[in-house]
Every structure is written in C-alpha cells, then in structure tokens.
Amino acid sequence: MLIETSAGPAEVDLDKPRGARFLLLLTHGSGGGVDAKDLLAVRDAALGLGGAVARVVQPYRVAGRRAPGSAAVQDAAWLEIVAALHRKVRKPLIQGGRSNGARVACRTAKAARARGVLALSFPLHPPGKPEKSRREELLAAGGIEVVVINGATDPFGIPDPADAAQVTVIPGQPHSFRSGFDTIAATVEPWLTRWSS
C-alpha cells in the first residue's frame, strides 16, 4: 500500500493477522530495503507472537534516492506514516529499523508514543570517526525501552549497554548481518512477548 506524506509517498507491506495484539513498524537503512534478512527475522518473530508488522519503504527510497537527506523531513514523514498505520491497527506501537532506520525510530519514539524501539545495527558514529557520536539520537527515546542488536565487527561502532535497555552483540558480524538471524529472533521474541498477551 502507499501512504502519502509531506516528503512523498511511502510504500508499506502490512502483515495484519486477525486479532493483532500489537503493531510493529520496521524500516530500512539508508540504501537498503525492507527485505533485509534481519528485518525479515524480526517480522517473522513478531507475527509468531500475534503482532501486526508494517515494513516501511521511506519516501526518499520510493523516489529512488539512496541518501535520506534532512533528518527533520525524514522524521516528519515517519510520524505521518506512523499515524496512518496506527489508525489501521489500534494496538500498542513498537517501532524499529536497521541503521538509518534505527536512528529514525529512536528520534521519533516519544512523538510517536511508541512503547518500545528496536535498533538493528545502530550506527553509533561514522566509520573511523568515534568523535562524531550519535549517542544523543539513541537517548532521544527517553524513558522508552530501546533494544539494540549490533554486529561485533560493525565499523559504525556499538552502543554502550548503559545507553539502552538491552544491547546484544552478535560475534563476527559486520554492519549488514550475514548470519546470526536466530540470535536476532531469540533477542526480540521475549521482548515483544509483553505486548502479545
């Protein structure tokens, strides 16, 4: 389905089981898509718990761009997408994404009234530039629980466990996971269970 936003249309794949217990919104990294294996592992875990899952292709990707552009424009469009989907599935909202999508989910969590945030491959800093930390974006969720899953060899860095409710590090994995999808599912399932009952 298409959702119109102030930044252009977004494409959404919505899996909505009958009697959905929660709504999980997931989005991609800067140049990626919603069929990344880590996003699919999370989707499958959430569906198994009776959640509705919306995988969102943000407007800049629908328009064919690889870079998201202004964070303010991106966040405003995301909140419009959240509002439209929450009208379709009026259940507790959890949002997340991988890399740039994780940044968006953290920055907008309070405004979206999310119950939790899942940050896959949260890019703590640009590769080789730890002084340019994005820690404040991770902390922007405030009192909302953030679960982080990063690869141990991620050149974008790994958030400090003190800055999230949980930080899971998958050994030997880079920024784009090549394996460890069972660990991702095993991390996400107990966390999502609180909204499935």
pLDDT values of the chain reduced to their tens digit, one per residue, 197 residues: 999 999 999 999 999 999 999 999 999 999 899 999 999 999 999 999 999 999 999 999 999 999 999 999 999 999 999 999 999 999 999 999 999 999 999 999 999 999 999 999 999 999 999 999 999 999 999 899 999 999 999 999 999 999 999 999 999 999 999 999 999 999 999 999 988 76
**Of residues 110, 9, 26, 28, the one with CA closest to residue 66:** 28
Query: Residue 169 pairs with which residues in a beta bridge?
Result: 150
Residue 97: in which H helix or E strand, if any? strand 93-98
**Of residues 167, 137, 161, the one with CA closest to residue 71:** 137
Structure tokens, 39: 């996003």
Query: Residue 4 pairs with which residues in a beta bridge?
Result: 9
pTM (predicted TM-score): 0.97
